[in-house]
Structure 1
């Protein structure tokens, strides 16, 4: 019987590759609206999976009760604060724009400068001399641009509607992943093992460790700094302390730090003449602003034994490249790449020879090659 099997020819290979490419593009096109929500859900579930398992053990081993508890935690700590922030921004946008564009903006008088010992009166006189010499005219020229800038940033709040939709999808996917987390994890490990054997499986496990390290080191630190800074704002009598607390947490997540919110609050207190609470908030801000230098390295080490510079570089670079989701994508990419390269390098023994002997051997080999070429 004649063997009908023959090798794959070039047209068949091209058409097969074209078909596979079309299928991948079509699948990506279909799931594109859900990618961001699913990515957020994956990061959140991986980071909080140990907490969910602990809750399940406390709730008589019932997975359904643990999933409900985790869903409530995500609503209270993540989704509702962001929704309140956007709502407050939209509600307060009209008065802010009206005040900025009304023409009543003036430079502050800074009468509290007179209370500073020894240099207060001189500083107050110098400041008002500067204002009289052109500060008011400068403010009148800058004011239209300030109004346009404020209007632009408030107009961007409309895009948060799409972001809130992704938050809703994130909550839905999180519930599904909490419910079937083991099956999904085993499926991803199986796929990675099929691609790259044990290296692929190790890459998946390393990605999970990096995500937990970021969640502990970056997110928890941001929450602690934001909450402590918000307590300082509330005690000092700063209006809209809750709104500013949420904004401070977002600034800490973006690695901008809490001082971006605390410093204007301190200036406002001194400007309004409340120097006592301004000094108190100044001291408290110094404590809150430096807290991440102690807390973040300790928490990152609890999540994964990775260099802190690697995690922070991934957080900042990922944030610039991918937005908020880059807080997790950047460190994961760098951590997995770092570990895989490290494992690959250590598969070979480290050189134990004397560097001078190695250099001498190379020089001798070069002389031999040069003599052969001369002959």
Structure 2
């Protein structure tokens, strides 16, 4: 008997090759780990702009490089130019808001708040407790000091943001570079994945389709929800007299925070309005934030994500919460993908071993 063809020799050879591949994959991952975010983002963008790229390919057939380059160029103009104007306006509004707030606070604004009946009542109530007494003047001094430090931090943060533009630009170029090859070689990449995955064609279709659907739904569910909450919240803040673009953007970012979300923005604003006597606008912000902005997060996000991924609301919640904890902002994409792929693999397991499982149930 030929030793090379013996089952034991083949099995050892196969496992050795698989182990070597796993080590090689891990080594490759350590090399590209700093750029995984840009690569995953390019993958998501390639799925979202697939209709546009398909239309361009039909207009210029047999010119894959030109079509991919044109798609990336159009995407650059669609994203970069509007975002540049928006970020400039946000930066301008934020600096003006904190500068004006500090000037108002220092020129007597603190006295207006501290002399209000509500604040006076709270101070008197606190002073009845067995702790060191506090005074309105002490609160004003501490608040002014805190606001001054916060304004300085905002200025430093703005300077850091401007300094980080270079890094953001480099990451965007890297994303475009990866996106070019994903668009140009999409069919080759899919064929290669189908060839190397040791599953049946139907299982491969199920797995790849689920990853694509969940990746799209994660972007739609998270980022469109944040956009909607930012627009609605910013509109309400503008009506109440605050810089709408800046605080709307802050609400959009706050919407990614589980449980509390945009409440971190509109609730302190409502309390401030109540303390200065604008209780009508304070009540408006509370109602608008809880009913309108809150309903967007409770209805739109599960609707967009569950409609494509097949996961129920509980799994969506934990996939987003766990993804944010483990991977940061990109976890909003990673988390749902991990959960959905697990569910697909579990379904495949049920189908593959259904005879054994049925036998166990009947035993």
TM-score by length of structure 1 reads: 0.68
- Aligned pair partner of 2:244 in 241, 246, 252: 241
Note the residue ranges of structure 2 that are not aligned, 5 or more in a row. Answer: 128-132
Q: How far 1:43 sits from its partner (Å)?
A: 2.4
Q: 2:48 aligned with 1:44, yes or no?
A: no
**Mapped contact 1:314–1:331 kept (Cα < 8 A):** yes
Q: Report how far residue 93 of structure 1 moved.
A: 10
Matched, 1:280 2:275: no
Structure-2 residue corresponding to 1:217: 221
Alpha-carbon deviation of 1:31?
4.2
CA deviation vs aligned residue, 1:168-201 (integer Å, no higher than 9, x gap): 4235533652575262354155235403334456
Give the equivalent residue in structure 1 for 2:172: 170
Contact residue 254 and residue 324 of structure 1 kept, 8 A: no
What's the CA shift string for 1:252-290, capped at 9, x where partnerless?
Answer: 134442222111222222233323333333322232122
Q: 1:237 to 1:145 in 2, by over 3 A?
A: closer
Name the CA shift for 1:299/1:4 in 2 (closer, same or farther; >3 Å).
Answer: closer
Q: Distance in 2 between matches of 1:110 and 1:19?
A: 68
- Alignment of structure 1 residues 333-348 onto 2, 5 Å: 333-347=338-352, 348=354
Comparing 153-162 and 167-176, the one that deviates more: 153-162
Instruction: Name the structure 1 match of 2:183.
Output: 181
Alpha-carbon RMSD across the aligned residues, in angstroms, is 4.8
Residue-by-residue CA offset, 1:100-146 (whole Å, 9 max, x unaligned): xx9x9958636665xxxxxxxxx566334247642545776788788
Shift in CA distance, 36/4, structure 1 to aligned 2, threshold 3 Å? closer
> In the superposition, relative to structure 1, how do residues 167 and 107 fare at CA in structure 2: closer, same or farther (>3 Å)?
farther
- Are the aligned partners of 1:314 and 1:330 in contact in 2 as well (CA < 8 Å)? yes
CA distance in 2, matches of 1:58, 1:111: 70
Give the number of aligned pairs: 338
Q: SS of the counterpart of 2:113?
A: coil
Unaligned stretches of 5+ in structure 1?
Answer: 114-122, 362-375
Cα gap change, 1:105 to 1:169, in 2 (>3 Å): same
Match of 2:253 in 1: 250
Pair member with larger Rg: 1
